[in-house]
Structure 1
Amino acid sequence: MAQNDVNIQGSPRSVLAGATIGFFIGAGSVSLYGPTAHIFVQAMHLSPTQIGWLVGMPMLTGALLRIPFGASVDHNGGRVPFLVLLVASLVGIAGLYWMLLTLYPNHLDAHSYPYLLALGALAGSGIATFSVGVGQVSYWYPRKKQGEALAVFGGLGDSSPGFVALILPSVILMTGLWSGYLFSLAMIILGILLYYFLGKNAPYFQYIHHMEKNAAIDHAKANGEELFPTGGVWHSLSLSASHWRTWPLVGLYFTNFGGFLALTVWLPTFWESYYHTKTMTAVILTASFSLLAAFIRVWGGALADREGGEKIAIISLTILLGGAVIMTLSQTFWLTVIGEFLVGAGMGINNGAVFKLVPHYVPDAVGGASGWVGGLGCLGGFAVPPLLGGFVDRFGTQGYPLGYSVYIGLAVVSLLLVWILVRTRDHVAGGHSISPMH
């Protein structure tokens, strides 16, 4: 095919829409067990620590798969790995649906626990679409618009756990446990179809199939593309790992996105067990937290574009720290609610700022950096719930609020990491001059 005959498919807006929809559907698996934890506790007699492992399990594969799949975007543009992850999640949810259809309620017991963990891990693959989408969207948008575009992608996509936490218990209440997961199955099939039609690779990755690399870059530049990969998957991972600033960003994302995921699945248990709220009240409080953190992330990205990512990170982490202190010390329902919302707001704004910093600090390996940051950062959603459950096992009921001291520590460490970035941002990182982001 002649170079001039290459017909570029997609546009920045359509791809942003497709990636956001795909991530929205895939990220719903983060709430696979959280809103229904009380049902499994009743049927299987699980301990608080076992609950923590169960609700956190979808984050394990979702986190680890973000690393290689995010890096693969620098090689293939993102479309294929995005679809692979959604299909893997589909298989996990289908297996869970079949298991519950055949075992619940009479035969779901302690022996079923390992199978629930395994299916949750597979279903969690959908969350890994985040790091793929970050790279895919970054290649479509110019640097000056990436903060807002990535905040829209991450913020609207992150709202999925909140909606799932709100809708899934309602569906289960009306139609039964197994049918609730049938609804989840139908939603991910819809997500796969929509992404298939909208989620196209950036111009460079379309041109490269029809011409040599330099010509593909020239043609892609003519289409407005500014970022270009420098190597394959492992090259991108190793290159981004060699940028030391990748690792403070990992720490920030562990605290804010991983911490957000952990609370999304833990809060229903907290509200019902500590304040003895009704199930629907716990669901509404959790969904409100999740949706606040998700939607305010869009505003956080816009603020980072205008005011600078580091500045917004410091402000948001201070808000998170204040909310965590309140949740740890409070013995009053409404004061704890205020603390929860402060934590959600701080996390959401910071998440919008972090991914503004990724293409700025690691411009020659965006996919690899997105994989490290999104993958290892997401591990917070897997690691923190068992810690929160451990506080309850150790201190009894009072361990529920004391567990939030984990977030005080994470917030303080994250503030230190941002301070390090600010102190060194004028230095040369990996051959690229880093200047204040304004």
Structure 2
Amino acid sequence: MIKKVQLPLQTMNLLVGFMVWVIISALIPFMQEDIQIAPERISLLTAVPVILGSVLRIPLGYYANLIGARITFIVSFILLLLPVFYISEASSFTDLLIGGIFLGIGGAIFSVGVTSLPKYYEKEKHGLVNGIYSVGNVGTAVTTFAAPVIASQIGWSATVKLYLVLLLIFAVLNIFLGDRKEEKVKQPIISQIQGVYKNEKLWLFSLFYFITFGSFVAFTVYLPNFLVTHFGLESVDAGMRTAGFIVVATFIRPVGGWLGDRFSPQHLLVGVFSIYTFAAILLAFSPSIELYTIGTLAIAVSAGIGNGVIFKLVPMYFSKQAGIANGIVSMMGGLGGFFPPIILSTVFAITGHYAIGFMLLSQLALASLVLVFWMIFQGKLEIQTSVFNSTNQGIMVTKKDSTIVSVNPAFTRLTGYTEDEIIGETPSLLKSGEQDQSFYDHMWSVINEQGEWQGEIWNRRKNGELYLEWLTISEIRDDAGEVTHYVGTFSDITNHQEERREA
């Protein structure tokens, strides 16, 4: 029973954490009535909670494996009580800045669920499960929409204090409903980091999440104030529109995870970053509110699908270091939400519009699209390499002039020559002397006419032992039809020859 509760419980945990994470950005218009905040400092104030919310994702992902999600969530909610109360009593910009830093704990708990929940489900459902869990992101929409409405009735300070009650309720719920018997992974954090940081896929996933989740966070904290100042909307109207963006991006995440379970995640990312590129270009031209809405909704859809797909990919490649890998990738996504608001406000201060900032987003998306294509190509190449290295047949690749350029492990096992010893040599090093020149002349005549030859041939191992092999030699041609290489594949059939003689 407890295991079945984990998905809804942890999803609600994430919702509460994200509700707390964006308190300041949602209530800034109300806070400005009591606290003097320079316009150029607003972006910093809304972006600062993202810092700790990003960096802490690595240790929280690690501890979710080490001590379990239950304890990690309980401690996180208790720690959040302090900055929330501090902010409710804030009287200066500095107070809000200090409290905002520690609100980041609310955003950091994201890595707890994506590390814990896959333990309860088979791999074929990891994309959907992480997608459902990520619906907890809608907590930012709840606060963005509800907090201004409540603050207009009871004031922003009392509104912030309501979150103290919510945090206490969920700390208690985790005490009683959290899984005390969750599978733990007790591996030192340094060894886990060493096991993943050299893998280029980790940094590709980090870049992709930096853009998809980073833009989600950035639009969440940037839209309310932007819609008020740029389009002249009322604070509540701006909050509702921002909430709509968040809801679309959030509820499309399970769809992204579900699609990732059923189709190629890499091919889905091609579509995601194609949409990103065109949508960001549209926003760069400072369109009307209608076209701006279309552009932001396109970003919301592609961000949601991208987020779901990426956390389908992470456990596929880092199952043994899921906590650290999830923490690093989600940290980069969180940091992706820190820089855009600052960049956009700086660009606006210099140029008077946001075009350059959005064009930068389009270029990052385009670069990511190219990298996805590269990753797809590398994946196919890795499969070919795996086949090359794992086959039991010896394989030798030569240039047109017969210089050996590549051999596989089976070649070394069958001939005794290592790769270092044979590269740069020619196949004549293996000659046994059992075949005369006419044999080789006929063999090459067939290759030149038909593009391939196969048959029995005696060769000599490094230790001098003769062996009979079944050899196939094939041409490799370029797009112009010119021969560039030859591939020889062979297997040892000496024992079969002896069996035929005895028979």
Provide closer, same or farther for how the CA distance between residues 266 and 307 of structure 1 changes in structure 2, counting only shifts above 3 A: same
Quote the offset at 1:331 in angstroms.
2.7
Asked whether the equivalents of residues 85 and 128 of structure 1 are also in contact (C-alpha less than 8 Å), the reply is no
The 1:273–1:134 alpha-carbon spacing in structure 2 relative to 1, beyond 3 Å, is same
CA contact (8 A) 2:86 2:95 kept: no
Q: How many residues align?
A: 386
Measured in 2, the distance between the counterparts of 1:412 and 1:124 equals: 30
Match of 2:20 in 1: 29
The structure 2 residue matched to 1:18, chosen from 2, 9, 12, is: 9
Change (3 A) 1:406 1:138: same
Alignment CA distance shift 1:48-1:252 (3 Å): farther
The partner residue of 1:239 within 164, 177, 195 is 195
Matched, 1:403 2:357: yes
Q: Distance in 2 between matches of 1:305 and 1:49?
A: 44
Confirm or deny that 1:194 pairs with 2:173: yes
> Paired residue for 2:320, among 361, 364, 369?
364
Aligned to 1:393: 349
Deviation at 1:125, TM superposition (A): 0.5
Counterpart in the other structure of 1:379: 335
Matches within 5 A, 1:308-319: 308-319=264-275
- 1:266-415 equivalent positions in 2, closer than 5 A: 266-396=222-352, 398-399=353-354, 401-415=355-369
Counterpart-to-counterpart distance in 2, 1:406 and 1:82: 36
For the 8 Å contact 2:30–2:151, the answer to whether it is kept is no
> Structure 1: how far apart are the matches of 2:381 and 2:62?
25
Distance in 2 of aligned mates of 1:376 and 1:201 = 30
TM-score by length of 2: 0.73
What residue is the counterpart of 2:377 in the other structure? 423
Residues 70, 135 of structure 1: 8 Å contact kept: yes
Q: Which residue of 2 aligns with 1:167?
A: 146
AA partner of residue 113 (structure 1): F
**Which structure's residues are more often strand, by fraction?**
2
> Would the aligned equivalents of 1:29 and 1:58 in 2 still touch at CA under 8 Å?
no
Q: For the Cα contact (< 8 Å) 2:68–2:182, is it kept in 1?
A: no
Measured after TM superposition, the shift of residue 308 of structure 1 is 2.0
Deviation at 1:330?
Answer: 3.4
Distance 1:41 1:203 in 2: 45
Paired letter, 1:188: L
- Per-residue deviation, 1:233: 2.4
Q: What residue number does 2:50 align with?
A: 59
Contact 1:54 / 1:116 at 8 angstroms: preserved in 2? yes
Counterpart secondary structure, 1:204: coil
Displacement, 1:284? 1.1
Deviation at 1:56, TM superposition (A): 0.9
Residue 26 of structure 1, CA deviation: 0.6
Q: CA deviation at 1:173?
A: 0.6
Equivalent residue, structure 2, for 1:223 = none
Q: Report the CA distance between 1:255 and its aligned residue.
A: 0.6
The alpha-carbon distance between structure 1 residues 420 and 73, as it changes in their structure 2 partners (threshold 3 A), is farther
User: Counterpart of 2:54 in structure 1: which amino acid?
Assistant: A
CA distances 1:107-140 after superposition (whole Å, capped 9, x unpaired): x4xxx22221110111220111111111111222
Q: Distance in 1 between matches of 2:386 and 2:79?
A: 38
Gaps of 5+ in 2: 388-503
For residues 416 and 47 of structure 1, what CA distance do their matches in structure 2 show? 40
1:119-130 equivalence runs, <5 A: 119-130=99-110
Q: Distance in 1 between matches of 2:33 and 2:47?
A: 19
Asked whether the 8 Å contact 1:292–1:341 carries over to 2, the reply is: yes
Equivalence for 1:146: 126
Per the TM alignment, residue 246 of structure 1 is displaced from its structure 2 partner at its CA by 0.7
Query: Which residue matches 2:411?
Result: none
Give the AA of the match of 2:276.
Answer: L
Distance 2:358 2:38 in 1: 19
Verify: 1:132 aligned to 2:105, yes or no.
no
Any stretches of 5+ residues in structure 1 without a counterpart?
A: 1-8, 100-107, 206-228, 434-438
2 CA distance for matches of 1:306 and 1:231?
Answer: 32
In 2, the alpha carbon distance for the partners of 1:122 and 1:426 equals 44
| Alignment partners' CA distance in 1, 2:350 and 2:181 | 51
User: For residues 182 and 52 of structure 2, what CA distance do their matches in structure 1 show?
Assistant: 30
Task: Report deviation, 1:91.
Answer: 1.6
- 1:34 CA drift (Å): 1.6
> In 2 relative to 1, CA 321–41 (structure 1 residues): closer, same or farther, beyond 3 Å?
farther
CA contact (8 A) 1:74 1:236 kept: no
Matches of 2:133 and 2:332, distance apart in 1:
19
Q: TM-score, normalised by structure 1?
A: 0.83
Pair 1:127–1:432, CA change in 2 (3 A):
farther
Cα deviation, residue 44, structure 1: 4.3
Choose the corresponding residue for 2:218, options 251, 256, 262. 262
Distance 1:361 1:52, change over 3 A: same
- Kept after mapping to 2: 8 A contact 1:162/1:287: yes
Corresponding position of 1:93: 84
Q: Which amino acid aligns with 1:403?
A: G
Task: Give the aligned residue type for 1:242.
Answer: K
How far apart, CA to CA, are the structure 1 residues paired with 2:63 and 2:382?
26
Structure 1 pair 387/41, CA: closer, same or farther in 2 (3 Å)? Answer: farther
State how far apart, in whole Å, the 1-side matches of 2:191 and 2:120 are.
Answer: 21
Partner Cα distance (1:94, 1:44) in 2: 17
Larger Rg: 2
- Is the contact made by 1:69 and 1:81 (CA closer than 8 Å) also made in structure 2? yes
Higher helix content, 1 or 2: 1
* Bigger relative contact order (CA 8 A; separation at least 6): 1
